[in-house]
Amino acid sequence: MTELDKPVIAAPASNPVTALVPLIAIVFFGFLAIGIPLPVIPVEVHDVLGFSPVTAGWAVGIQSLATVLTRQAAGRICDMSGPRTAVLAGLPLASLAGVFYLVAAAFADPLVHLAFLFVGRLVLGVAESLFLTGAMAWGIVRVGPAHTGKVMAWQGIAIYAAVGIGAPLGIEAMVRWQFAGAALSTVLLPLAGVLVALALPRPALLHHSAERVPFYRVVGLIWRHGLAMSLATAPFAALAAFVALYYASRGWTGAGYPVMGFGAGYIVMRLFFAGLPDRMGGARVAAMSLPLECVGQLVLFAAPGSFVAFLGAVLTGVGFSLVFPAMGVEAVRRVPAHSRGLAVGGFVAFFDVALGLTGPAAGLLASGFGYRAIFLGGALCSALALAMACAFALPARQKA
């Protein structure tokens, strides 16, 4: 190994947020390629190609199923080869997914179109697994494990800023240039993240020589907190996948704005309260946040018009915002430091499971009971997550 190839072992940064800015940019560019086509794909599959809401849900969810199956490999790559390797493998794959979208757009036959679209979704799932796990593990190395909550909070800001900005852009691109317009952006945007990653010094490996914890043991340590986070994620997944069809079914305009409103509420909470999980404990923060998400889903369910629905989406974002870092802090603390990349990958896999299963499940609800029923289901998921968070917080209060 040459001097240029050696990892840079830097002391934890005195200003964690400043040190995280390049990694926030990497995640932002990567997730723009996910956020822009997210509301477009169900419309393309259901309205343009003529398939059922369940198929539209699978078109969204299959990406995350591919992601969850590759989180273990992504975590291993981070621990053994370094998070930079994972990032630089994942972002070009995200561009390749856009190429498959463009190929899909070239075929008029619905089945061929859908087949290439599904291949693109699978490739994007692998890409997200690599670049997101890598960016999170890289952030923990860069700022130190004491700031794990900040890493997850700010990476989450990048994710939902990209989704919130990308959703209306994707709908506008589809209106102007059809599906190919949204597809082209997924080819180009991840390449900007590649440039940022190449400009950063190679991070150090954490305890490379230490004995590795098997993945099943990591999952055994974190599954309860991962399940709570999955339940809290389901409302967002349903909102992102079906809000455009929900608005169309009610005759409302502005279908891109609820996802933007969700992202705005989410980001504002992260900007002002990102440090709460590290200071107060993740379980307590989640127990305070989840009632707001539940109420937001009920507002969406009962909304008489598009503006009230938009407010429900904002409230959902406010309530969900801190749940991911809150549960993430609790989960990562349960795993040895030398397997932190695997722990991050395992925890985020629960997020992927939620995204993967919510799409088809919400499609079934919509087919049987209408699109409003999706948000009633989201409120139930939030309530179950709240019950789990309260159970986690109780032992901590007893120890205090």
Q: Supply the pLDDT for residue 298.
A: 97
In what helix (H) or strand (E) does residue 178 lie, and over which residues does it extend? helix 148-199
Contacts with 168 (C-beta within 8 Å, 6 or more apart), sequence order: 256, 257, 259, 260
Confidence of residue 13 (pLDDT cuts 50, 70, 90): low
Alpha helices in 200-281 (DSSP H): 215-250, 257-273, 276-280
Query: Would the pLDDT of 40 be above 60?
Result: yes
Place of tokens 């980001």: 267
Q: Which residue has the higher pLDDT, 27 or 65?
A: 27
Q: Supply the pLDDT for residue 294.
A: 97
Task: Kindly compute the dihedral angle of the four CA atoms of residues 316, 129, 185, 259, in this order, to the nearest 10 degrees.
Answer: 0
Q: Supply the pLDDT for residue 6.
A: 43
| Calpha distance 286→325 (Å, rounded) | 9
Q: Supply the pLDDT for residue 126.
A: 93
Confidence of residue 4 (pLDDT cuts 50, 70, 90): very low
Confidence of residue 193 (pLDDT cuts 50, 70, 90): very high
Tens digit of pLDDT for each residue in 46-56? Answer: 888 889 888 88
Find which of 52-56, 140-144, 348-352 is predicted with most confidence, using mean pLDDT.
52-56
Average pLDDT, the chain: 84
Query: Would the pLDDT of 315 be above 70?
Result: yes
Contact (CB, 8 A) for 117 and 44: yes
CATH number of this structure's domain 15-201+214-399? 1.20.1250.20
Q: Supply the pLDDT for residue 341.
A: 64
Ranking 260-269, 306-315, 348-357 by mean pLDDT, the lowest is 348-357
